[in-house]
Structure 1
């Protein structure tokens, strides 16, 4: 981390010469991004560990890339993403409803975020994390982005567990969608300091819509995407509001001169409402989960959020 608090950097030039249509760029040195690269390394290391324990060459003759020895991949008919077996993922912390609810292994809500089903899955998520996360960390700092990433991942795991109760779920997608949600709420709560704001909003909405639309394909856990996105969206209002333009200068005015509030009224309002909704959502979700509630019992049409049947594939409703 370089310099002082992000709110004190580049304030004097925020009123002019904005460099981006998406975000207001600080004119001083941005935060040094180290947490997101650390997350990338952690995910890669975890995948290597998973493949080491998987040891396909010992248990299956049809392994892919057998020259890798115990790091070879499961047969493509079992895992087309070039990765380990589902039993290995389950053993090392994959999200599995029965183990969370009936065996009280709530820690799986967190560990599943660091596991990936295969090389393709890992590369896709890590590229997205680098593209989205590094920019956000440079702009907002590692503390806030780290909180958003982790809580969004957990939020995605909770919603996924309420609906996906027969399959194993792994991946950082919920956390990634949380960063996308935070980008959207950050744009909304700091609307007045953006240039080309409508274009930025429409672009971001299209990106989010496309990514959520991909989630209706079979074998994609869109509930983790939705849960992570909603969590990050609410957290953005709580953690990412920016001071009003020129506030840093006004607070240094002589005594007796009225100083405006650091944040606008709507920023306080959005932050408070979002915090209440976030706490309520996590509380209700965890209570329902550990009571063994099936989300489909209360939302019969929700299966369309995760898989839409077509002439090319079918959905099992789970």
Structure 2
């Protein structure tokens, strides 16, 4: 009886040689199904953001605090402020303040530094939440599968906090959230991982295009109210430097040509790639620069430095005044007339007024309405 021998070639780590010119696709262009392990840390962060947003909407309680003048009233307590008040379809300014958003008055006058740690968890609204988390999931899971949850989780946290500290240096007297810092940190880490392991990866141009599109889209969102663009820039620099320190020696395995999706391997034979990827000089220099920058920013925040006093045009990096929204950072004042069943607010700045068919309104909500009328 003739015996049949079947040779099984396992996926295994290989010794990388400098002679082999073949490369593997960057993580964005590899199928997730090929590597199902190590994908929990980004999922945890996404769940925490969803919980924080749900809590924000409970605190906001548009149905009760705005007397049913809400968008999507069918959601009841979870209904949103009108688009005229929040373009992102989300909570009010006072609700963001209550949840720990960054604001000049609370950091400079009240010294509520705890807001630096809470603002990275907040989103301005549903549209901001969806775009931001989809970007985090796309970039983060691919990086996590390539470099492991511990390194990506550390970069995520460092970028979120660094971005929040940078945002605290450019605050206006309007609430702003710093959740984009973590996302831009992942984008910076992806760029540094690509640069550091340049000879390992193929599809470099496509990767740069993907990174650029995600970065520009979220930077444009940062020009709108409630989203702090300075946290994005701070997070990007933090992620870039942290990536040079941490994202070395990706787990390289023997792979074979696999077709069946957009993200395909582009090799026909087992791949051998250079293993000498660790660059101690680059790691050391990046670590020193990152430590110095972070220390300087933290000290400046603790000293109450406001960079806007020295940079008059910096405000336009965070907000561009257009027809649909203004970048007015002044605290507005309104004259309030209250009767038994209605309230009239008149803006002291421009004389505009509005009559509301209710009178029992909190002081923080009156400030929200006053800013809306004056703007």
Shorter chain as denominator, the TM-score bin is 0.7 to 0.9
1:57 aligned residue: 63
1:42 aligned residue: 48
- 2:164–2:178 contact (8 Å) kept in structure 1: no
Does residue 17 of structure 2 align to residue 20 of structure 1?
no
Does residue 145 of structure 2 align to residue 133 of structure 1?
no
Bigger mean CA offset, 122-131 vs 214-223: 214-223
Residue 50 of structure 1 aligns to a residue whose secondary structure is helix
Does residue 169 of structure 2 align to residue 166 of structure 1?
no
- Structure (1/2) with the larger helix percentage: 1
1:86 aligned residue: 93
How far, CA to CA, are the matches of 2:224 and 2:28 in structure 1? Answer: 35
Shift of residue 204, structure 1, vs aligned partner? 5.0
Structure 1: 5+ residue runs without aligned partners? 1-7, 247-259
TM-score, normalised relative to structure 2 = 0.69
Shift of residue 223, structure 1, vs aligned partner? 0.9
How far, CA to CA, are the matches of 1:154 and 1:46 in structure 2? Answer: 17
1:196-217 deviation line (CA, Å, top 9, x unaligned): 44x2564256336624652573
2:37 aligned residue: 31
User: Cα gap change, 1:180/1:103 in structure 2, threshold over 3 Å: closer, same or farther?
Assistant: same
Question: How many residue pairs end up in the alignment?
Answer: 295
- 1:63–1:73 contact (8 Å) kept in structure 2: yes
1:40-85 deviation line (CA, Å, top 9, x unaligned): 1111111111111221111213122222222121222222322221
- 1:95–1:168 contact (8 Å) kept in structure 2: yes
- 1:181–1:236 contact (8 Å) kept in structure 2: yes
Residue 192 of structure 1 aligns to a residue whose secondary structure is coil
Residue 191 of structure 1 aligns to a residue whose secondary structure is coil
Q: What RMSD in Å do the two structures reach over aligned CA positions? A: 3.3
Does residue 197 of structure 2 align to residue 185 of structure 1?
no
- 1:160–1:224 contact (8 Å) kept in structure 2: yes
Shift of residue 88, structure 1, vs aligned partner? 1.3
How far, CA to CA, are the matches of 1:237 and 1:304 in structure 2? Answer: 30
How far, CA to CA, are the matches of 2:12 and 2:108 in structure 1? Answer: 47
Bigger mean CA offset, 211-220 vs 119-128: 211-220
1:214 aligned residue: 220
1:152 aligned residue: 159
User: Cα gap change, 1:225/1:9 in structure 2, threshold over 3 Å: closer, same or farther?
Assistant: farther
How far, CA to CA, are the matches of 2:87 and 2:30 in structure 1? Answer: 42
- 2:178–2:232 contact (8 Å) kept in structure 1: no
Shift of residue 12, structure 1, vs aligned partner? 4.0
How far, CA to CA, are the matches of 2:65 and 2:251 in structure 1? Answer: 61
Q: Decide which of 87, 91, 97 is 2:104's aligned counterpart.
A: 97
Shift of residue 95, structure 1, vs aligned partner? 1.7
Does residue 69 of structure 2 align to residue 75 of structure 1?
no
TM-score, normalised relative to structure 1 = 0.80
How far, CA to CA, are the matches of 2:326 and 2:65 in structure 1? Answer: 31
- 1:56–1:70 contact (8 Å) kept in structure 2: yes
How far, CA to CA, are the matches of 2:48 and 2:222 in structure 1? Answer: 28
Q: Decide which of 79, 93, 110 is 2:117's aligned counterpart.
A: 110
Residue 202 of structure 2 aligns to a residue whose secondary structure is coil
Shift of residue 143, structure 1, vs aligned partner? 0.9
2:264 aligned residue: none
- Structure (1/2) with the larger strand percentage: 2
2:245 aligned residue: 238
User: Cα gap change, 1:176/1:9 in structure 2, threshold over 3 Å: closer, same or farther?
Assistant: farther
1:290 aligned residue: 302
Residue 74 of structure 1 aligns to a residue whose secondary structure is coil
User: Cα gap change, 1:43/1:314 in structure 2, threshold over 3 Å: closer, same or farther?
Assistant: closer
1:124 aligned residue: 131
